Chains A and B, each alone.
Chain A
């Protein structure tokens, strides 16, 4: 999850991470984590990192910030598939929640 500044807007945070800033905190699907931000236009990524347990790595030579995955516990805190969004070949976004209502088989592969 890549960012180009240490502070980001709520919209960018939601688009990149799937975590939405709400009055009750940072929320993703049914989960909410307490979080307060002085401004929805300049959310501190370091504070997000601490709140969500997602390590923040900074690459100062390229002015890039990257959040890792959540740490602690197990890869799945619940069996509900996270509502990830990935693009197809043409860049069109696909949200995994679109699969609801039908059994689905997710296959990870690679060209290499």
Chain B
């Protein structure tokens, strides 16, 4: 999805994509091979990027030439996603209708985000979208012990799932979700691993959680 922008902006900007997939390259490979990106395409099985404050995908982070972050994780789509314009099909069940309406209501401003990115690539630190280092630190998420511990449980869940110990893995995925309840990445990846039975295993659904937490905590509005 980002290849077109990379073609436009390289060599002034390099793009690196990272798949947060506990199932590893097996899950990410079909998508990456279809996209045939010229940029580095990495896989993060243990959600290492949670350390940057990433709690949902897609999230973008801007890094300057000196390796300094100038914008923190934000919802990043290269173009308006199709889900914003889908229609409710005839015969949809009430739950299907509610889910479609919920997805359409998510905060996504692809045009604004990409315009800001282009502005920064052109102007560098003079861009009004580039944050000063102290502002980046100030805006970054607090990291309580509970969330730091959740990262360890998620890593254990990923390792155990990979080695075939599904029940034990689920225990740790549940604990990660309990300790870091605002992380959608922990939830969504574990649900994907569980498959269609995930509502029974985890006692909730995407729609239930979205309704409880609100769209602004799923994809917070951009502060450009």
- Report yes or no: B155 in contact with A105, Cβ–Cβ below 8 A: no
**B143 adjacent to chain A (CB < 8 Å):** yes
Residues of chain A with a CB closer than 8 A to B60's CB = 105-108
Residues of chain A with a CB closer than 8 A to B188's CB = 110, 112
- Report yes or no: A68 in contact with B133, Cβ–Cβ below 8 A: no
A68 to chain B, nearest CB (A): 4
Which of B54, B141, B149 has the most chain A CB atoms closer than 10 A to its own CB? B149
Q: Looking at chain A, what size class is its interface with the partner chain?
A: 35 or more
Docked Cα-Cα span, A66 to B160, in Å, equals 12
Residues of chain B with a CB closer than 8 A to A100's CB = 65-67
Residues of chain B with a CB closer than 8 A to A72's CB = 143, 145
Docked Cα-Cα span, A54 to B188, in Å, equals 24
A108 to chain B, nearest CB (A): 5
**For residue A53, which residue of chain B has the nearest CB?**
B148
User: In chain B between 2 and 29, which residues have their CB closer than 8 angstroms to a CB of chain A?
Assistant: 2, 11-21, 23, 25, 27-29
**A61 adjacent to chain B (CB < 8 Å):** yes
Residues of chain A with a CB closer than 8 A to B142's CB = 73-75
A-B contact pairs, 6 of them (CB 8 A): A69-B148, A79-B134, A89-B43, A103-B63, A109-B20, A111-B31
A57 interface neighbour in B73, B149, B191, Cβ under 8 Å = B149
**For residue A91, which residue of chain B has the nearest CB?**
B25
Docked Cα-Cα span, A43 to B149, in Å, equals 21
Which of A67, A71, A76 has the most chain B CB atoms closer than 10 A to its own CB? A76
A110 interface neighbour in B21, B25, B134, Cβ under 8 Å = B21
Given A66-B155, A76-B136, A88-B41; A107-B76 close (CB under 8 Å): yes
Residues of chain A with a CB closer than 8 A to B12's CB = 102-103
Docked Cα-Cα span, A78 to B132, in Å, equals 11
User: In chain A between 45 and 66, which residues have their CB closer than 8 angstroms to a CB of chain B?
Assistant: 53-57, 59, 61-62, 64, 66
Docked Cα-Cα span, A76 to B159, in Å, equals 26
- Report yes or no: A110 in contact with B156, Cβ–Cβ below 8 A: no
Given A108-B73, A110-B185; A102-B13 close (CB under 8 Å): yes
**For residue A49, which residue of chain B has the nearest CB?**
B152
**B100 adjacent to chain A (CB < 8 Å):** no
- Report yes or no: B69 in contact with A111, Cβ–Cβ below 8 A: no
A3 to chain B, nearest CB (A): 10
**A84 adjacent to chain B (CB < 8 Å):** yes
User: In chain A between 19 and 49, which residues have their CB closer than 8 angstroms to a CB of chain B?
Assistant: none
Segment at the A interface, from B45-53, B102-110, B214-222: B45-53
**B68 adjacent to chain A (CB < 8 Å):** yes
Residues of chain B with a CB closer than 8 A to A67's CB = 152
- Report yes or no: A103 in contact with B152, Cβ–Cβ below 8 A: no
**For residue A54, which residue of chain B has the nearest CB?**
B148
- Report yes or no: A62 in contact with B18, Cβ–Cβ below 8 A: no
The 8 A CB mask of B87-111 against A (1 = contact, 0 = none) is 0000000000000000000000000
